[in-house]
Amino acid sequence: MSEKNNFIDYIRIFCRTGHGGAGAKHLMRNKLTAMGGPDGGDGGRGAHIILRGNSNLWTLLHLRYFKNVLAEDGERGSKNNCTGRDGEDVIIEVPLGTIAKDEETGKVEVEILEDGQEVIWMRGGRGGLGNSNFATPTNQVPEHAQPGELGIEGWKNLELKVLADIGLVGFPNAGKSTLLSVITSATPKIANYAFTTLKPQLGMVEYRDNKSFCIADLPGIIEGAAEGKGLGHRFLRHIERNSALLFLIPADSDDHKKEFEILRNELKEYNPEMLQKDFVIAISKSDMLDEELKTAIAKELPSNIPLVFISSITNKGLTELKDLLWETLNKK
């Protein structure tokens, strides 16, 4: 499988839960009882479709060819008040950060955030009651039994929002993939052209005293992403869950302040709550800068946002960057 296809963050599937089994309509008949009362059992419940969180999964790749989920119907009730067997539930394992939506309404139906969390996404139909439930003093031999309730069906969407501590934000070519490859064990595809990173890349940063945190290199943002241009909403969706955002701006940018403002504005247009996150700015490729240029760049950028100059090639400033990110994540 090619590298660009091994991160799947969106799946469209058709789901149908099981129909409930019909209740039985039966009167007791045996060698001792010629004209017994009703003994029709209830029908079994149709199978549910259940989502379960699995922290070992990072992508929806395993569901790529899982196009139709057809759950089992419940069995019919039978004589001697025997209840039909319930349909066997379908359990779909998904990575943490998965949301399930109805395609027609767009409504978020389930959100999976914890390992082992199980949520009944779509309920199976209830089994019908057998005729033994309808006996009354005035109607001791009811000939009525309920049919099973129908299951539900429809097209559904599963979307993944990456659960990382730090989200890397920057224009294409800002050096995000290079930085990730240097400070984590991730091996992203790196090349000197725009949109090298088409899917989020995750990596764990090893910090001091056996501590670590997760960082995600997200696809390059461009002006108009909030309206869906470029990689648009598929990129911005992943940023929603990050605790803090690291803005990476290359030292050779024509206008550092303008670049930061464009990135910040894209986030605001998509969801104003993004601006409530903690920001850190890193100037990449800064091995080419002298102190005078660094001072000039620092004056351009907001004074209330922590700033660090780094070079992924010479490892300059990377320890300082890790310290800053750790402090940002763990501040009171």
- Give tens-digit pLDDT for 117-162: 999 999 999 999 998 888 888 787 788 888 999 999 999 999 887 6
User: Looking at the structure, do residues 250 and 281 belong to the same domain, yes or no?
Assistant: yes
Work out the number of other CB atoms within 10 angstroms of the CB of residue 325. Answer: 25
Q: For residues 283 and 250, what is the distance between their CA atoms, to the nearest angstrom?
A: 5
User: Looking at the structure, do residues 272 and 305 belong to the same domain, yes or no?
Assistant: yes
Instruction: Check whether 9 has a pLDDT greater than 80.
Output: no
Q: Residues 208, 209, 210, 214: is their CA dihedral positive or negative?
A: negative
Is residue 24 within 8 Å of residue 130, measured between CB atoms?
Answer: yes
**Bridge partners, residue 120, by sequence:** 50
3-state secondary structure of 119: strand
3-state secondary structure of 132: helix
User: Looking at the structure, do residues 29 and 9 belong to the same domain, yes or no?
Assistant: yes
| Number of domain units in the chain | 2
Q: Residues 266, 271, 276, 278: is their CA dihedral positive or negative?
A: negative
pLDDT tier at 3, thresholds 50, 70, 90: very low
Where is mean pLDDT largest: 55-64, 159-168, 189-198, 216-225?
A: 55-64
Q: For residues 245 and 165, what is the distance between their CA atoms, to the nearest angstrom?
A: 9
User: Looking at the structure, do residues 135 and 94 belong to the same domain, yes or no?
Assistant: yes
Q: For residues 170 and 36, what is the distance between their CA atoms, to the nearest angstrom?
A: 78
Enter the DSSP assignment of 212.
Answer: E
Backbone angles phi, psi at 110, to 5 degrees: -145, 145
Q: Cα–chain-centroid distance for residue 111?
A: 7
> Which pair of structure tokens corresponds to residue 308?
């660090």
Alpha helices in 218-330 (DSSP H): 232-239, 256-270, 291-300, 318-330
Of the listed ranges 32-36, 52-56, 292-296, 317-321, the one predicted with least confidence: 32-36
- Give tens-digit pLDDT for 69-88: 999 999 999 888 899 999 99
User: Looking at the structure, do residues 115 and 197 belong to the same domain, yes or no?
Assistant: no
Q: For residues 96 and 110, what is the distance between their CA atoms, to the nearest angstrom?
A: 12
CATH number of the structural domain spanning residue 125: 2.70.210.12
CATH number of the structural domain spanning residue 264: 3.40.50.300
pLDDT tier at 48, thresholds 50, 70, 90: very high
Of the listed ranges 28-42, 112-126, 149-163, 273-287, the one predicted with least confidence: 28-42
Of the listed ranges 22-26, 161-165, 287-291, the one predicted with least confidence: 161-165
Strand 98-102 and strand 118-122: pairing?
unpaired
For residues 90-97, give the mean pLDDT: 90
For residues 39-49, give the mean pLDDT: 93
pLDDT at site 191 = 39
User: Looking at the structure, do residues 91 and 217 belong to the same domain, yes or no?
Assistant: no
User: Looking at the structure, do residues 201 and 74 belong to the same domain, yes or no?
Assistant: no
Q: For residues 307 and 289, what is the distance between their CA atoms, to the nearest angstrom?
A: 15
Is residue 79 within 8 Å of residue 26, measured between CB atoms?
Answer: yes
pLDDT at site 272 = 80
Q: For residues 294 and 305, what is the distance between their CA atoms, to the nearest angstrom?
A: 15
Final residue belonging to a domain, choices 143, 160, 177: 160
**Bridge partners, residue 90, by sequence:** 49
**Residue % of the chain over a pLDDT of 70:** 81
Range of the domain at 92: 1-160
User: Looking at the structure, do residues 52 and 187 belong to the same domain, yes or no?
Assistant: no
User: Looking at the structure, do residues 142 and 174 belong to the same domain, yes or no?
Assistant: no
Instruction: Check whether 303 has a pLDDT greater than 60.
Output: yes
Q: For residues 4 and 124, what is the distance between their CA atoms, to the nearest angstrom?
A: 37
Final residue belonging to a domain, choices 135, 160, 185: 160
For residues 56-66, give the mean pLDDT: 81
User: Looking at the structure, do residues 324 and 204 belong to the same domain, yes or no?
Assistant: yes
Instruction: Check whether 176 has a pLDDT greater than 80.
Output: no
pLDDT at site 195 = 37
- Give tens-digit pLDDT for 224-263: 444 544 444 555 565 666 678 899 998 888 889 998 998 8
Which residue would you say has higher pLDDT here, 267 or 294?
294
Whole-Å CA distances, 18 to 89, 90, 124, 150: 9, 10, 5, 7
pLDDT at site 6 = 55
Alpha helices in the chain (DSSP H): 176-183, 232-239, 256-270, 291-300, 318-330
User: Looking at the structure, do residues 82 and 184 belong to the same domain, yes or no?
Assistant: no
User: Looking at the structure, do residues 141 and 181 belong to the same domain, yes or no?
Assistant: no
Final residue belonging to a domain, choices 114, 129, 160: 160
Name the average pLDDT for the chain: 81
